[in-house]
């Protein structure tokens, strides 16, 4: 199965010119990578500019159309050939005051549109991580049927590791991955828990990326800061996805 390497550009870069340059450089750099799906999640406004790599959005509204000033729907994203949508990122939980309930509605809206949500979960510093993960996963998936749940990707992103340079240890990440899979198994069935893709995110760089893929039981990585430098991001992709030339 292909690993999933996701670039979360957040609110960067500031101009269309820089966005195009970054996208095209990454596209060239990851050409020939066989066993990783590379997903770029730029700000909404840049989505229509890009093709040639899988696209993801960084957020979505939970209603499909209507009088919701400033919002973007899952159908609009689908029309732009977006495949994945990040939902419940800790920055949206914090700055936009997203709750487990709104996140649940967003997950359903994304799934109903036929897109794949990337649900972000993770504890703040000082919080008991098992409880937080169990609650966030269970609440986000409330009422989601099994045939839709198979399209969900879950990213374990401890809040204290995001943008801090303090990445979570491989061992601790493994514990969180198992906790997530346990919840999925309880809510649905073991087969889904085995299949569901769980990613790690939080200060991933070209040095630590390979170790997560080898030792933490993850199916991929969610990369923030280090996805804004094409060279760094390409290095991360290549650390997990070998190229055609490596193979022959």
Contacts with ligand PGA in 137-156 (CB under 6 A)? none
| Sequence-ordered list of residues with C-beta below 8 angstroms from that of 24, at least 6 positions apart, any chain | none
State the binding string over 74-113 for ligand PGA (x if CB under 6 A, else -): ----------------------------------------
Contacts with ligand PGA in 153-182 (CB under 6 A)? 157, 162-163
Nearer to ligand PGA, 117 or 224 (CB): 224
| CA–CA separation, 200 and 138 (whole Å) | 18
Angle at 84 between CA 33 and CA 107, to 5 degrees: 150
| CA–CA separation, 113 and 145 (whole Å) | 14
**Shortest CB 188 distance to ligand PGA, Å:** 25
Set 37, 89, 91, 98: catalytic member? 89
Nearer to ligand PGA, 109 or 203 (CB): 203
Which string of b and e fits 214-245 if b means at least 16 CB within 10 Å? eebbbbbbbbbbbbbebebbbbbbbbbbebee
Q: How many chain residues are in contact with ligand PGA, going by CB under 6 A?
A: 13
Is 89 among the catalytic positions? yes
Find the binder of ligand PGA among 4, 7, 8, 152 (CB under 6 A): 8
58 three-state secondary structure: coil
Nearer to ligand PGA, 103 or 193 (CB): 103
| CA–CA separation, 9 and 138 (whole Å) | 27
Is 157 among the catalytic positions? yes
**Shortest CB 225 distance to ligand PGA, Å:** 3
27 three-state secondary structure: helix
Residue with tokens 């989505």: 47
**Shortest CB 81 distance to ligand PGA, Å:** 22
Contacts with ligand PGA in 197-236 (CB under 6 A)? 201-204, 222-226
4 interacts with ligand PGA by CB under 6 A: no
Set 91, 98, 123, 157: catalytic member? 157
244 three-state secondary structure: helix
Which tokens sit at 202? 């939080």
Angle at 35 between CA 212 and CA 30, to 5 degrees: 95
The residues annotated with a catalytic role in the active site are: 89, 157
| Residues in touch with ligand PGA (CB under 6 A) | 8, 157, 162-163, 201-204, 222-226
């Amino acid at each position: 199965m292909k690993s999933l390497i996701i670039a979360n550009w957040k609110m960067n870069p500031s101009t269309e010119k820089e966005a195009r340059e970054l996208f095209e450089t990454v596209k060239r750099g990851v050409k020939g990578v066989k066993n990783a799906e590379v997903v770029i999640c730029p700000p909404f406004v840049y989505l229509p500019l890009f093709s040639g790599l899988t696209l993801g959005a960084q957020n979505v509204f939970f209603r499909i159309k209507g009088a919701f000033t400033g919002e973007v729907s899952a159908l609009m994203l689908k029309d732009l050939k977006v495949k994945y949508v990040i939902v419940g990122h800790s920055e949206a939980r914090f700055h936009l005051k997203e709750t487990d309930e709104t996140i649940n509605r967003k997950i359903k809206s994304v799934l109903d549109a036929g897109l794949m949500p990337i649900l972000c979960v993770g504890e703040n510093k000082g919080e008991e991580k098992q409880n937080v993960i169990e609650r966030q996963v269970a609440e986000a998936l409330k009422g989601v049927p099994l045939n839709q749940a198979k399209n969900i990707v879950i990213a374990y992103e401890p809040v204290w590791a995001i943008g801090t340079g303090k990445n979570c240890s491989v061992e601790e990440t493994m514990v969180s991955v198992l906790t997530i899979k346990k919840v999925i198994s309880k809510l649905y069935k073991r087969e889904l828990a085995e299949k569901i893709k769980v990613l790690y995110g939080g200060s991933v760089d070209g040095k630590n990326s390979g170790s997560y893929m080898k030792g933490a039981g993850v199916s991929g990585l969610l990369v923030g800061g280090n996805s804004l430098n094409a060279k760094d991001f390409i290095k991360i992709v290549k650390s997990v996805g070998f190229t055609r030339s490596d193979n022959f």
